[in-house]
Structure 1
Amino acid sequence: MEKRIKILNYLTVIVIVLFAIVQGKWLYSRYKYTVQTCADTLYSRVFESVDEYNRVRQSAVNNEIAVEYTTRRFVRGDTEMFLFDIYTADMRRCPAIDSLSADLFSRIYETQHPDWLDREVQVIVVKQDRKESEVLDAIERSCLNRRFPFSAEKLDTVMRSNDIRLDTIFTETADSIVWESSRTEWGSLFHPVLSITYPYDILGKKLVRMDCQIALPLIIRGMSDILFFSFALSVLLVVCLVAQIATIRKQRKIENLRSDFIQTMIHELKRPIATLKMCVSYMGNERLMKDIAGRQMVVADSHTALDSLSALFSKLRDLTFSKSTEIPLHLSAFSLHDLLDACIHKLNVPGDKHVRILVLPHEDMIVTADRMHMINIIDNLLENAVKYSRERVEIEIDYRKCDNDHVRISVKDNGLGIPKSEQGHVFEKFYRGRIGVEKDIAGMGLGLAYVRMLVEAHRGNIRMESELNHGSTFIIELPQ
C-alpha cells in the first residue's frame, strides 16, 4: 500500500511537471503567433502612415520646381527596357509658358537648352515578370522626390500623429535598385522589434529604414483570453492534483491512526482481561477460596477490572459522538475522595518510573456528576501525567468548591510540559505534540480530546497551564 501511494505521488508530480512543460511550450507558440500578428498589424499601420505622408507631399503646391517625363518601352527577349526622359524645370527662372507638359519641355530643351530646364535620361532594364505598373510607380516616386524631397523627420511626425512611436528612422542609399519594401523581426523574446525598409526613390536607390518596438502590453492584450483560460485551467488542474495527493496522504494518516487505535485498544483491554482470567483461575481453586481475605481481594480486583472494561467501552462509544451534548449522562452523588483513591489504585505505573501522587485536601467532598465519566476524566489526566514525565513523577490533585456553585479539580505534574505554540491544539482529536512524537511515547492524540468532550457534556470547562520542562496543570470546573 505504502509503495503504491509513493508511486502515485511520484506520478502525480511527474504529470504536473509535464503539464507545465507542455503548457509552457503551447503558450510560447501562442506568444510567437501573437507577436507575428501584432507585427503584421504594425506593418500595415506604418504603411498607412507612409501613404498618408506621400499624399500630403503630392497635394502640396510647389511653384518652384516642375517635373515631367516621357516614357518609351522596348522588349528584347525575356527582358524589357524602359527609357525615361525626365525634365526638371526651375519655375523661378522659367519665362511665362502656357502649360506644363513633357512635350513642351522636350521642344524647349531641344531648341533652346535653357539653364532653368534640365533633362535626365533613366534607363531601366527588367525581367518580363516585373509589371509595367511597378516600373511606372518607380518613376512616379522619383519625380515626387524631385518636387518634394523626402524628409524622415516629417514622416516621423506623421507616425506620431497616428500613435506610432519609432525607435529609429533614417535614410540611406542602397548599392542597387530596391523594388519592394521589406521587414524583419529581431530583438529579445519580451522586447521584439520590427524593422521596415521602404524605397521612397526606387530609381535613385534611396531608402528609409524604420525600427519600431512591438509593445509588450499590446501582445499581452492580444493574448488576454488565452492567458486567462490557460491560467484558470492550470490552477484547476494543479489544485485537483494537489487535493488528490492531500486526500491520499490523509487517507494514509487515517489508516495509520486506525491501526494505532486498534493496537492501543488491544493493549488497554489486555490488562483487565488478564486480571479477570487470573481472578477466575483463583475462584476455580476451592482451597484458595476458603481464604476469606483473599477471596474478598479477588472479588475487588474483578470489580476493578470490570470497571476498566466498562470505562473503555464507554470511551469508545463516546468518541463516536460528533457533539459533546450527545453523550448520555447518568448523574449521581458520590464521594470525590473515594473516586480519586479508586483511580490512583488502578493506575498502571511503568517499571522504570517512580510515581508519587498527593491528594491535597484531607476532607471529603460529595459531587454530582456521571461517576463513570469522572473516572475516565481522572484516569486520562493521571495516565498523561505519568507518560509525559521523567523517571520521578510527582502529581498533586486538588479540589475545592467555588463561589459560583462549581467544583474545581486540578491535576498538576512535574512532567515535560507543553510548548506555548502547541497549547492551543492539545484538546484537538488526533493531535500529538512534538515531544510525544520525538520521544516515541505511545498514544493516538485522543485522551485530552475525550476529556474535554466529557467535561463539556457536564456543561463544565477545562483549561491548561503549562511551561516547557516545568510540568502542566489541568483545571476542571463542573457545575453542581
Structure 2
Amino acid sequence: MNRRIRSIFWLMTICIIAINAFQGYWLWKTYQINRQQFASTVQSALFQSLEDQQVGDAKRLFIRKQKADSSSRMVIHRFDSMGSRHVRVFVNNRSDSISRIRIESEQPKRIVVTYDTQKRTTGANPLPADSIAKRISSLVLLDWTDRKRVNLAKLKAAYRSELIRRDIDATFQLDTLTSKPQNSLGNFVFYRNGDQLTTDDIIQTSPVPINPIQNLFVQATFAAPELYLLRQMGWLLGGSLLLLILTTGCFLFMLSTIMRQKKLSEVKSDFINNMTHELKTPIATVTAAVEALQNFGALNDPQRTQTYLAISQTNLQRLSDLVEKVLNLAVEEKRELVLHPEPVHLADVTNELITNHRLKATKPVIFDTSISQDAIVVVDRVHFGNALNNLIDNAIKYSRDKVTIQLSFRGNIDNWQLTVSDNGLGVPKAYQSAIFDRFFRVPTGNLHPVKGFGLGLAYVRQVVERHGGTITVQSEPGKGSEFTVHLIRRD
C-alpha cells in the first residue's frame, strides 16, 4: 500500500511539474514574441511620425518661398510615405511637368526628382522639375544647416498619436543624439548629453536621422515596457495562473484524499485489532468456565458452579457492552447529538464520579479537587457527566501503579474553565493533535496494555463542542497530561 501511494505521489508530482514548466515556458515565449513585436512597432511608428513631420516641413518651406518669389499659383497634390518621402507639386504658367520629389531616407542629403508626362485636368501648368528640385533641395539643406534645435514637443505629440493609432499606450521619452565616426569603415558612435550611448536601457528604438547636417538623431526610450506588455497579456496571464492554481489545487486535494484514505485504512486496521483483543478476552474466559463445568466436575460443587457462572455472566456483560459501544458509535455518526442543557452543580457531578471510580479502581487513586459547592454550570447533565467520566477514566488507565488526579474550576456560570490533570504516562507531542480523532490510539506496537477502541476522547470533544466550548491538552511523556475544557455560554 505504501509503495503504491509513493508511486502515485511521484507520478503526480512529475506531471504537475511538467505541466507548470510547459505553461511557464509558453508564457515566456509569448512574452518574448510580444516584446519583439512591440519593439518593431514603436520603431516603425517613429519612422512614420518623423517622416510625416519632415515632409510637412519641406512643404511649408517650399510654399513660403514660392509665395515670396512669385505670384504664381501652386498646388500640392499629395504626400506618400512608404520608405521614402514623396511630394507632388504643380504650379501655374509653366510648360514642363514634375510628378514627384522624393527625399530618400537612407541618404537624406539627396533629393531626387522624377518626371510625369501625364497631363493634369486641373488647368494648372506644372513648374519645371529641375527648378523645383533645386529649390526644395536648397531650402531643406539650408533649413538643416540653420536649425540648431529640434522641436521635440511637436515630434513627441506626433509620435504619441502614431502609437495610439497602432493601439500602443505606453510611456516613452524622446531624446536627441549626436553621432561621431568611430572608424574609417563608417561606423558611428552615438552620444546623449555628451555621454556615449549604451544598450542598457530596457527598450530603445534605433536612432533615426532628423538633421544629417548637424549629425542629429532622435531616439525613443520606453522605460518600463514590461508593465505595459504584462497588462496587454492580462487575460492570458490570468487564465494561465488560474489553470496553474486549479491544477496544483487538484493535485494537493487528491494527495490529501489519498493520505486521508491511508490514515482511515490504518485506523480501521487498528480498530479491528483492538476489537479482536477486546472480544477475545471475555470469549476465552467464558469458554474456560464452561469447560470447567463440563470436564472437571464443577457441577457437583454448587459453590464452584456459582463462581464459574458469575465469571461467565460478568464477561458476557462485558462482551455485550463492547457490542453496544460499536452500535452506538454507528448511530451517533448518522444523527446529531441532542443536548438538554440545565443548571448543574458541578461539585455534585464530580463527587459522584469520584466515588464510583474509587470503588472500581484496581490501583491507588488520589483525587485533589478545587471545585466550590456553589459552582453552577449550564450543561447537559448526562452527556457532560459521561465526558468528564471519560477524562477521569483515561487518567486512571494511562498511569503507573499509583495516580493523582486534580480537578479545578474557575469562572462563573457564563464563562468557566474546568481542568483535569494527572501524573500519568503522558502523550507525545506528535500525537496530541490526533488523540481526539475517532479510533485513534497512541501507537504501542503489537502490545495492548490498555483496552479500548479510541472513542473516549472523540466523544469528549463532541460533547464539549456541542456545548459551544473547546478542549485542549498539554502533555509531556512521563510527567502526565492536563485537559482543559473552556466554555462560554451563548444564549
**What's the TM-score bracket when you normalise by the shorter of the two chains?**
0.5 to 0.7
SS of the aligned residue for 1:167 comes to: strand
Structure 1 distance, partners of 2:387, 2:270, is 16
Q: Please state whether the residue corresponding to 1:194 is helix, strand or coil.
A: coil
> CA 1:218–1:264 in 2, change beyond 3 Å: closer, same or farther?
closer
Task: Judge conservation of contact 2:275–2:453 (CA < 8 Å) in 1.
Answer: no
Please show how residues 202-281 of structure 1 align to structure 2 within 5 Å.
206=213, 208-217=215-224, 220-221=227-228, 224-225=231-232, 227-281=233-287
- Alignment check: 8 A CA contact 2:286 2:311 kept: no
One-letter amino acid of the structure 1 residue matched with residue 243 of structure 2: L
* Counterpart residue identity of residue 315, structure 2: D
Q: Which runs of 5+ in 1 are unaligned?
A: 67-100, 102-129, 178-185, 201-205, 328-332, 346-354
Structure 2 residue corresponding to 1:452, chosen from 436, 440, 461: 461
Which whole-Å deviations, capped at 9, do the CAs of 1:334-376 have from their partners, x for residues lacking one? Answer: 953465358856xxxxxxxxx8643447xxx9x98548x9557
Distance in 2 (CA, whole Å) between partners of 1:139 and 1:444 is 109
Alignment match, 1:303 = 317
Pairing 1:133–2:114 present? yes
Q: Which residue of 1 aligns with 2:48?
A: 44
CA contact (8 A) 1:359 1:397 kept: yes
Contact kept, 8 Å, 1:169 with 1:209, in 2: the verdict is yes
**Within-5 A mapping of 1:18-417:** 18-55=22-59, 57-58=61-62, 132-133=113-114, 139-145=134-140, 147-148=142-143, 149-156=145-152, 158-160=154-156, 162=158, 165-170=173-178, 187=199, 190-197=202-209, 206=213, 208-217=215-224, 220-221=227-228, 224-225=231-232, 227-285=233-291, 286=293, 287-288=297-298, 290=302, 291=304, 292-321=306-335, 323-325=336-338, 336-337=353-354, 339-340=356-357, 344=361, 357-360=365-368, 369-370=381-382, 378-379=389-390, 382-383=393-394, 394-396=403-405, 398=407, 411-414=420-423, 415-416=425-426
Q: Which amino acid in structure 2 is aligned with residue 358 of structure 1?
A: I
Distance 2:428 2:249 in 1: 32
* Larger-gyration structure (1/2): 1
Q: Partner residue of 2:194?
A: none
CA distance in 2, matches of 1:281, 1:33: 90
Q: TM-score of the superposition, structure 1-length normalised?
A: 0.60
TM-score (norm. length: structure 2): 0.59
Q: Is the 8 A contact 2:368 2:405 kept in 1?
A: yes
2:319 & 2:66 partners in 1: Cα distance? 122
The answer as to whether partners of 2:470 and 2:485 remain within 8 angstroms in 1 is yes
Mapped partners of 1:460, 1:342: distance in 2: 33
Residue by residue over 1:32-91, the C-alpha shift from the partner in whole angstroms, topping out at 9 and shown as x without a partner, is: 11221222223222223333444454455699999xxxxxxxxxxxxxxxxxxxxxxxxx
1:274 is displaced (CA, Å) by: 0.9
In structure 2, relative to structure 1, the CA distance for the partners of 1:36 and 1:385 (3 Å cut) is farther
Amino acid at match of 2:236: S
Distance 1:155 1:405 in 2: 81
Equivalent pair of 2:271/2:453 in contact (CA under 8 Å): no
Give the CA RMSD over aligned residues.
5.5
- 1:176 Cα offset (Å): 12
Contact kept, 8 Å, 1:167 with 1:213, in 2: the verdict is yes
Letter in structure 2 aligned against 1:154:
V
Aligned residue type for 2:462? M
* Residues 308 and 409 (structure 1), Cα distance of their counterparts in 2 relative to 1, 3 Å cut: farther
Q: Would you say the 8 A contact 1:416–1:468 is kept in 2?
A: yes
CA offsets per residue over residues 171-228 of structure 1, 9 Å max, x none?
Answer: 7799999xxxxxxxx946833333213576xxxxx47442423424567546634x11
Matched AA of 2:272:
I
Q: What is aligned with 2:482?
A: 473
Same amino acid, percent of matched pairs: 11
User: Partner amino acid for 2:316?
Assistant: S
- Alignment check: 8 A CA contact 1:386 1:393 kept: no
Q: Which runs of 5+ in 2 are unaligned?
A: 71-93, 95-110, 116-128, 161-171, 187-197, 341-348, 374-378
Give the 3 Å change call, closer, same or farther, for CA 165–4 of structure 1 in structure 2.
closer
Q: Write out per-residue CA displacement over residues 272-329 of structure 1, whole angstroms, 9 at most, x where no aligned residue.
A: 31122113313422145651334323322332333233224323442455x54489xx
Which residue identity is paired with 1:193?
T
Q: Which amino acid aligns with 1:144?
A: L
* Closer, same or farther: CA 251–325 of 1 in aligned 2, 3 Å: same
Residues 235-271 of structure 1: CA distance to partner in whole angstroms, max 9, x if unpaired?
1111111111112112112211221221121122123
SS across alignment from 1:411: strand
CA–CA distance in structure 2, aligned partners of residues 240 and 473 of structure 1: 42
> 1:43 and 1:477, CA in 2 relative to 1: closer, same or farther beyond 3 A?
closer
- Would you say the 8 A contact 1:360–1:398 is kept in 2? yes
In 1, distance between residues paired with 2:23 and 2:412? 67
Distance in 2 separating the partners of 1:263 and 1:450 = 20
Q: Secondary structure of 1:268's match?
A: helix
SS of the equivalent of 2:174 reads coil
Deviations 1:371-403 (A, max 9, x none): 8x955764466447866x7x7873416489998
Give secondary structure in 2 for the equivalent of 1:170.
strand
Assess if the C-alpha contact under 8 Å between 2:289 and 2:308 holds in 1. Answer: no
> What is the letter of the counterpart of residue 213 of structure 1?
A
- Residues 1:467 and 1:427: Cα distance change in structure 2 (over 3 Å): closer
Verify the 8 A CA contact 1:279 1:299 in the aligned structure 2: no
> How far apart are the structure 2 equivalents of 1:208 and 1:302?
111
Letter in 2 for 1:297: I
For residues 42 and 438 of structure 1, the distance between their equivalents in structure 2, rounded to whole angstroms, comes to 79
Aligned with 2:202: secondary structure? coil
Distance verdict in 2 for CA 1:165–1:231, change over 3 Å: closer
Q: For the residues of structure 1 that align with 2:217 and 2:326, how far apart are their CA atoms?
A: 88
